[in-house]
Amino acid sequence: MAANVALLCGSPSTSAASSLLTRRFPAAGRRASSRFTIILNCSIIAGLYVYHQVAALGDDPIKEWILTEGKATRITGTRSIGGGCINSAQRYDTDAGPFFVKTNRRIDPSMFEGEALGLKAMYGTKSIRVPLPYKVGSLPAGGSFIIMEFIEFGRSRGDQSALGRKLAEMHKSAKSDKGYGFYVDNTIGSTPQINTWTSDWIEFYSKHRLGYQLELVSRRFGDSAIYEKGQRLIKNMRPLFDGAVIEPCLLHGDLWSGNISSDTNGDPVILDPACYYGHNEAEFGMSWCAGFSGDFYNSYFQVMPKQPGFEKRRDLYLLYHYLNHYNLFGSGYRSSAMSIIEDYLWMLGV
Ligand SMILES: Nc1ncnc2c1ncn2[C@@H]1O[C@H](COP(=O)(O)OP(=O)(O)OP(=O)(O)O)[C@@H](O)[C@H]1O
């Protein structure tokens, strides 16, 4: 240990070792000793470089993680990635490959912890490709970050049939024995999404999805008309589920085109989830901006057969996301949400 420290820290031992080698084997010794010295000096410089980078970065937990647990010795560049609305995203290039980093200067780490748990759960199913999350933490000046696997995206929009099949494989393989919900609450857009474990799906969807959004609409916009009609739908919607076998499947939870891509092999990739265990059909709640094709649904239903009443329930699952858009972006989404509610009230005769 002492010798190693001496070798790393300085020249006396280095030159002693060189001169011993040169005395014993004059010609070869000189060549070997100069190579030996070069290698030693390189390791010393690399060691000191990493040491200085890490020591100087006590106040930059992202770089610190990349240069320690991330196993990089050098960050060669960073650049911003557009596309997200809520967080800022960067690519960190290093000698250990690229890392994908999202930061949010205002929100504590709980949002990214929810995202990381969701990504890990989906990753664990070995079905559809998702980035592996590495680290979530706080930023020294406030806010939070997440570091994850960087995925190089391919040029194509991806194979819809593969997307449908792999998504269904994820739904099929990941069931929960705790019921409907998730280990933590997370967010849908920036709206809180409550995931308290509940044994009955209709109760879960009534209270923590439609009911929660209706409460928010009422508080934010004073919209008692949509609140009251929405509550009437909730109280009367059970017949819509008649004949369907419902199980708690792992859902991405926010599956729209901005969160779907494909890698350089053309394999589908899904990103930025709002995971929970729920009825698999709820996964299609964002289908109005996902662009799923006929091939997508055909492949999906080959793995997860269509349940009786699927078409009747489709709009009920859109409703959650329309209400959320109303809450997030304002009254432009009100009429879509209201007309779904009124159509159901008419269909159910209530
Ligand atoms: N693991 C990854 N590797 C490479 N690029 C990624 C990765 N994850 C996301 N991206 C890209 O980074 C951009 C922003 O990511 P993302 O959509 O997750 O950000 P966000 O602000 O959390 O999103 P939103 O506002 O939609 O909730 C997108 O263009 C996305 O395609």
| ipTM > 0.90, yes or no | yes
CA-proximal residue: ligand 1, atom 8 (nearest): 271
Cα of 45 vs centre of ligand 1, distance in Å, is: 36
pLDDT tens, 10-25?
A: 333 333 333 333 333 3
Residues constituting the chain: 350
Phi first, then psi, for residue 137 (nearest 5°) are -160, 180
Closest atom of ligand 1 to 272 CA is: 18
CA 207 to centroid of chain Cα atoms: 25
pLDDT of 9 reads: 29
Q: Which listed residue (223, 254, 272, 315) is catalytic?
A: 254
CA-proximal residue: ligand 1, atom 1 (nearest): 150
CA-proximal residue: ligand 1, atom 30 (nearest): 83
Q: Retrieve residue 72's tokens.
A: 């990089």
pLDDT tens, 145-186?
A: 999 999 999 977 679 999 999 999 999 998 899 999 999 999
Query: For 124-159, b where at least 16 C-beta lie within 10 A, e where not — what string?
Result: ebebbbbbebbbbbebeeeebbbbbbebeeeeeebb
Closest atom of ligand 1 to 88 CA is: 21
Higher pLDDT, 24 or 133: 133
Please answer whether residues 37 and 76 qualify as being in contact, where contact means their C-beta atoms are separated by less than 8 angstroms.
no
Distance CA 241, CA 208 (A): 18
CA-proximal residue: ligand 1, atom 23 (nearest): 84
Domain residue spans in the chain?
2-56, 61-149, 160-348
CATH 3.90.1200.10 for domain 160-348, yes or no, is yes
Higher pLDDT, 33 or 334: 334
Residue 315 catalytic?
A: no
For tokens 């280095």, the residue is: 14
CA-proximal residue: ligand 1, atom 15 (nearest): 84
pLDDT tens, 34-77?
A: 544 544 454 555 555 554 555 455 689 999 999 999 999 999 99
Give the pLDDT band of residue 198 (cuts 50, 70, 90): very high
Residues near ligand 1 with C-beta < 6 Å?
81, 83-87, 89, 100, 102, 131, 148-151, 258, 261, 271-272
Choose the residue to mutate in 145, 259, 261, 271 for probing ligand 1, maximizing ligand atoms within 8 Å of C-beta. Answer: 271
Cα of 6 vs centre of ligand 1, distance in Å, is: 47
Cα of 306 vs centre of ligand 1, distance in Å, is: 31
Cα of 349 vs centre of ligand 1, distance in Å, is: 43
Cα dihedral 315→178→305→259 (10° resolution): 60
Instruction: Provide Rg for the chain, Cα atoms.
Output: 27
Give Cβ neighbours of residue 199 (< 8 Å, ≥ 6 apart). 179, 180
* Mean per-residue pLDDT of the chain: 87
Give the pLDDT band of residue 4 (cuts 50, 70, 90): very low
Domain spanning 61-149, CATH architecture: 2-Layer Sandwich (3.30)
Q: Retrieve residue 227's tokens.
A: 């609140």
pLDDT of 156 reads: 73
Cα of 289 vs centre of ligand 1, distance in Å, is: 17
Cα of 12 vs centre of ligand 1, distance in Å, is: 52
Considering the entire predicted model, what is its pTM? 0.84
CA-proximal residue: ligand 1, atom 17 (nearest): 84
Same fold flag, 61-149 and 160-348? no
Q: Indicate whether 328 pLDDT > 70.
A: yes
